[in-house]
Amino acid sequence: MADNGLPDAVPARLNLHDDPLKALLLPFDGGPLAWPAQGDIAFLRARDGWPLRQHPLDRLRCEQGFKPLADGLGQAGLDVRPELDCAAEASLVLVLPPRQRDEAQALLARAVAMAAPGARVVAAVANDEGARSREKDLQQLAGLDGTLTKFHCRVFWTPPLSGARDPALAARWRQADAPRPILGGRFQSRPGVFAWDRIDPASALLAAHLPTDLSGRGADLGAGWGYLAAEVLDRCAGVSALDLYEAEARALELARANLAARAGRAALAFHWHDVTTGLPQDGYDFIVSNPPFHAHDRGDRPELGQRFIEVAAQSLRPGGRLLLVANRHLPYEATVAGAFASRRVLAEGGGFKVIEAVKAQATQAHAATGQARSGQAMKERRR
């Protein structure tokens, strides 16, 4: 066991460029705040990184609903859950608020509610992610005792607390983040998830061009709050089973609620899962996907969509179909061409394209493998 309470063997790859995380720990690095000597420490929207390792972490409880980040915390030996119990008091509450205002305000209200008597809430936000607004929010809710600016971020903290300064405001903020009806009551959603209050136009384009002959066992990769899965079940009578894979726990719980009325229509399964690691099952007859192309820090990551395509190809049965929608400018064609036997564009519009790709039949795959081996043998003979 290392001095910081972590196992000796921890992942060597840590995020060296997480400026909000660096800012969050700055007040404890010889600054105005002391790391609590006892009591649990809660970390909301937690992320792993080297600044965290400078402190004792055996009492740290992490909340992270985004599966890739949660997996990283778990692999580092930290206690991580999609959601922490607000009733469990903490001697310190660390927060990395998200960009979306309602979600961020609700998270700050939860942080204040989790703080034990005499505990502080410490939060950090990048300047271009709304740092000043979140600082004002925390000041209004519980008061401020200090602020530091560094790494293009602001870190700010409360005085020792004995509850929220304005309990009614805290309750309103918590309620503003609650699931609510959208689109005339057809679905439930909540702030912070992708396209939370509308139908994403890319998903709408794919839904409008779904082949109605999709049948058998399928999967939705990056299912969000369940719109596309609902459309598959409503439009394709031959679908007998559908697995939803989603990395954001908040979105997956909404999908579960939104598809509850269709549970008798097909066998449904919901997986909190990072698709880029591969799928735990294969042999799917079809896969639909509107893959992400942004990382959690909002940076462009077209390789995410490319990996979704590769995983889909690995997880389909021979002859299985992928129905994919993507921004027209994204470089997916080469990945699709390398992973599938055939492909065609079903529709284009609004800056998006819908692609149907078919995996090689077993005989085609066998022939392709044989040709590759023959070509390799010829190269060896020429040497």
Tokens found for residue 91 = 């001697």
**Type and span of the H or E element at 24:** helix 19-25
Q: What is the largest CA-CA distance in the chain?
A: 81
> Under the phi-then-psi rule, with left for phi > 0, alpha for psi from -120 to 50, and beta for the rest, what region is 143?
left
Predicted confidence band of residue 165 (pLDDT cuts 50, 70, 90)? confident
Residue 246, classed as helix, strand or coil, is: strand
Give the pLDDT of residue 295: 61
pLDDT at 7: 38
pLDDT confidence bin for 348, thresholds 50/70/90: very high
Measured CA to CA in angstroms, residue 290 lies from 96, 281, 355 at distances of 27, 19, 11
Q: What is the DSSP letter of 85?
A: -
Q: Is the confidence at residue 13, as pLDDT, over 50?
A: no
User: Does 19-176 match 180-365 in CATH topology?
Assistant: yes
pTM of the model as a whole: 0.89
Token representation of residue 376 = 């390799």
Q: Quick one: which H or E segment has residue 272?
A: strand 267-272
Phi, psi of 376 (to 5 degrees): -65, -40
Q: What is the pLDDT of residues 291-347, one digit of tens each?
A: 987 665 555 678 899 999 999 999 999 999 999 999 888 888 899 999 999 999 999
Between 6 and 77, residue with greater pLDDT: 77
Say which CATH architecture domain 180-365 belongs to: 3-Layer(aba) Sandwich (3.40)
Closest CA relative to residue 44, chosen from 62, 60, 66: 62
Question: Spelled out in words, what is the top-level CATH class assigned to the domain 19-176?
Answer: alpha beta
Residue with tokens 């001095």: 3
Residue 2 pLDDT: 42
pLDDT at 31: 85
Domain locations in the chain as residue ranges: 19-176, 180-365
* E strand or H helix that includes residue 230: helix 227-235
Whole-number average pLDDT of the chain: 90
Nearest Cα neighbor of 225 from 202, 247, 205, 209 is: 247
Q: Per-residue pLDDT for 285 more than 70?
A: yes
**Tell me: the pLDDT tens digits for 214-227?**
999 999 999 999 99
Answer whether 367's CB lies under 8 Å from 357's CB: no
Contact 100, 190 (CB under 8 A): no
The three-point CA angle 86-89-91 to 5° equals: 135
| In contact, 145 and 182? CB cutoff 8 Å | no
Is the per-residue pLDDT at 368 higher than 60? Answer: no
CA 1/CA 328 separation, integer angstroms: 50
Q: Where are the beta strands (DSSP E) in 82-211?
A: 90-95, 115-126, 146-150, 153-157, 180-182, 187-189
pLDDT at residue 5 tops 50: no
